[in-house]
Structure 1
């Protein structure tokens, strides 16, 4: 077998250096790269040592990696300590480029695999003893993807058996009042929408200031308080203090402005203290980084799952603030982020709730539609449920009426329609309106 020229030593060194320089950096790329993304054997051994240390919850800086390679008695085979020192001293180690470098290694790996397959085809073409060369060629293709094929396709009988078992489990959980999915704690909305179950990808859209973050916070509180299920809240827009204050406002009914401005009087301070003591241990984990990458969000989810064992839901506020550096243009980037969030719902076996901004043109419409979602139709396609938050205003002076429409424009597993709720945004909540007019008209959406 000829030595492949399809690799880049400098980029491999940059990836390894970044991993050994920045704590928890492997979390960013661990789902994307593996040992075969590296070409020289010594790079493979370094990466294996990093992964082993990570799996043992140990730091994987250059000192720990060197120690691990010494323990395995292979450090001398790969250039010894001097190679590690040279690599750390010369290779660029910018963590901000890690995902782009990793994407390049993945591409090199794919091309090397194709190169190997091509060499096998060449050998097959030269083997005149083969009775049916085309059949053997098809077998080569099949062998190249056996792992994925092994998990594809089942009979209808098997699929039905699996669905029946799933129905039984859901029925038993509901009967025992166990957690089966998330809800917004707004009776008419929850009845119409149904439970947002594990593996679902739900999108909440609205114009700036419409209350979509408030709706997400209500869902987070219900999940953590009522069911004691962990919530990962990726707050790319609000800092952790703002989000914490809004949650306490909703839980205590102390106006948010009073908490935010430290203007607590007439017993409010005691009320605040009581609320903090009562709710500070709710299993809500906040990640407030501005413009995180989608790989970082996946890393946050893994850390939260290790901390809480299971996740009740993941909330992203909001989707258009996430990044995917591996994509060249914004349309591809948002589409990729949407698909990744949907896959995370399956991977972590929990609902993912993503807030989204709407196009400016949506302000011209009487009610926002799914097609008003900013930057990508892929979001509309991927979502299991889409809810539009539409505050009602007076037609004459555009002043708020204190009522918001929650418009279910897509619901793969239930009804669509409109529910009206009372605004209590001063305490970061919506409240149900008992009497609901029937707005369920399919042509509206």
Structure 2
């Protein structure tokens, strides 16, 4: 260990000497090394003085450094003289990497000692220890290098033209990302693209879970890997919904096992197919950004074909260990941490991440209950971080709710016959109308248009489907009335 420390000490002296005798490269060095990366206190102090001089636009020279060292006991005259006696080096990058590598190893050694001490602390739970370890590991890994590699305009142009060339060769294929299974949504967004954060928001019972399951089925059909973090629903319940949608067997029949021979055969074929698909579901009831990052990085290394991740849903996630239960933090600060973390993770892993989101109850108070961006819970940070925000809307959900409220009122008023009559009408109507109109509202689209896409919801199979079109026109301006059944499928708002 002593030999290694001497080796690192010599590295540190060489780097500091190079800074003093050629300070022109200090910006690049200070981007990669921090004061705490130096092993010896004297070296840390001199490097800190160099940073201070540079910040104040003062020359980094032996005289200026010596003047700052007057009266400082942390650096002896002998130590400073030794540094000045070391010749500057040409290959400074290699020395910087060695110093940084040694610094990270020291931090990991400290972490190992901390783990040992805490493992014997009976007042701590294993979960809290794991959370703290993940936080520390994340902090260490995030400081590996702060160097920013700029691209020149020439390099950016070359990359841009190369992308355009690739897209041109694709012909009429509008997709640059993953297909959603909804042609009009793909047309507006060009699919879900790498590095994007996509938010799907809706009030309860609108079908957020069914909607994302429909989309990932399309992705899985192309054998593209999908990771799902289901914080609200067990994995077996999700699979039942997917099987119902793919086999056209009513979900209720699957739940109670009421299947005939033909349905059993369809189910057997569907399950055989599904077992070959790269679908990964984590249905743990708690999840932090650090845990999500750790799990996705591990999964990505195991299956490089992982193409997308889904979180159901965002508000059930928690922040770091210190923010559980929003203790010491307002909830909006925790959501800000989560949404920023999701966007950062999408870029880091180079995959799209979908996060489902609840909406505020204020939606229910409006005459027009179609969601708006302001309806997102703790919406500021979510709206800012998301690349695409989709809202689901089904008018029939509110119609049924209004009818149920009306029945309840009739019963309270003693009008049992009228209540039973309305209940029967609702039952017959629900029995006949198995297909309900639905809307995908594209409220934000960082790289494209916004507007409304008309689809339909197949209730027995909890399946969203494309609407059968009665005309060839896809787009209409926002001031066009959309009351007709033959109206266009998409309403577009030009940005």
TM range (shorter): 0.5 to 0.7
Residue in structure 1 matched with residue 163 of structure 2 by the alignment: 166
Residue in structure 2 matched with residue 43 of structure 1 by the alignment: 110
> Residues 35 and 373 of structure 1: is their aligned pair in 2 closer, same or farther, counting only changes over 3 Å?
farther
Alignment of 1:320-335 (within 5 A): 320-324=315-319, 325-327=321-323, 328-329=328-329, 330-335=331-336
Residues 1:251 and 2:302 aligned together: no
Residues 1:364 and 2:365 aligned together: yes
Distance, in Å, in 1 between the alignment partners of 2:243 and 2:135 is 45
Residue in structure 2 matched with residue 317 of structure 1 by the alignment: 312
Residue in structure 1 matched with residue 269 of structure 2 by the alignment: 274
SS in 2 for 1:295: helix
Residues 1:98 and 2:129 aligned together: yes
Residues 1:183 and 2:182 aligned together: no
Residues 1:231 and 2:234 aligned together: no
Contact between 2:441 and 2:453, CA under 8 Å: does it hold in 1? yes
Distance, in Å, in 2 between the alignment partners of 1:107 and 1:265 is 53
1:162, distance to aligned residue in structure 2 (A)? 1.8
TM-score with structure 1 setting the length: 0.68
Residue in structure 1 matched with residue 352 of structure 2 by the alignment: 351
1:332, distance to aligned residue in structure 2 (A)? 1.2
Distance, in Å, in 2 between the alignment partners of 1:177 and 1:392 is 33
Contact between 1:35 and 1:44, CA under 8 Å: does it hold in 2? no
Distance, in Å, in 1 between the alignment partners of 2:138 and 2:397 is 55
Residue in structure 1 matched with residue 71 of structure 2 by the alignment: none
SS in 2 for 1:440: strand
> Residues 292 and 390 of structure 1: is their aligned pair in 2 closer, same or farther, counting only changes over 3 Å?
same
**Please, what is the CA RMSD of the aligned residues?**
3.6
2:462 equivalent among 402, 408, 428: 428
Distance, in Å, in 1 between the alignment partners of 2:372 and 2:360 is 10
SS in 2 for 1:150: coil
Residues 1:415 and 2:449 aligned together: yes
> Residues 101 and 168 of structure 1: is their aligned pair in 2 closer, same or farther, counting only changes over 3 Å?
same
Contact between 1:205 and 1:356, CA under 8 Å: does it hold in 2? yes
Cα deviation 1:141-166 (Å, max 9, x = unaligned): xxxx9943432x33322222222223
Contact between 1:37 and 1:106, CA under 8 Å: does it hold in 2? no
Residue in structure 1 matched with residue 26 of structure 2 by the alignment: none
> Residues 438 and 428 of structure 1: is their aligned pair in 2 closer, same or farther, counting only changes over 3 Å?
closer
Contact between 1:293 and 1:322, CA under 8 Å: does it hold in 2? yes
Distance, in Å, in 1 between the alignment partners of 2:385 and 2:155 is 26
Alignment of 1:103-122 (within 5 A): none
SS in 1 for 2:306: coil
Residue in structure 1 matched with residue 300 of structure 2 by the alignment: 305
Contact between 2:226 and 2:307, CA under 8 Å: does it hold in 1? yes
SS in 1 for 2:146: helix
Residue in structure 1 matched with residue 377 of structure 2 by the alignment: 374
> Residues 306 and 188 of structure 1: is their aligned pair in 2 closer, same or farther, counting only changes over 3 Å?
same
Residue in structure 1 matched with residue 153 of structure 2 by the alignment: 156
1:168, distance to aligned residue in structure 2 (A)? 3.1
1:104, distance to aligned residue in structure 2 (A)? 7.9
Contact between 1:194 and 1:413, CA under 8 Å: does it hold in 2? no
Cα deviation 1:125-154 (Å, max 9, x = unaligned): xxxxxxxxxxxxxxxxxxxx9943432x33
> Residues 368 and 87 of structure 1: is their aligned pair in 2 closer, same or farther, counting only changes over 3 Å?
closer
1:171, distance to aligned residue in structure 2 (A)? 4.6
1:103, distance to aligned residue in structure 2 (A)? 8.2
Residue in structure 2 matched with residue 79 of structure 1 by the alignment: none
Distance, in Å, in 2 between the alignment partners of 1:376 and 1:313 is 23
1:208 equivalent among 204, 207, 226: 204
For structure 2, the residue ranges without an aligned partner over 5 or more in a row are: 1-39, 43-100, 404-429, 471-486
TM-score with structure 2 setting the length: 0.61
For structure 1, the residue ranges without an aligned partner over 5 or more in a row are: 4-33, 48-61, 63-83, 110-144
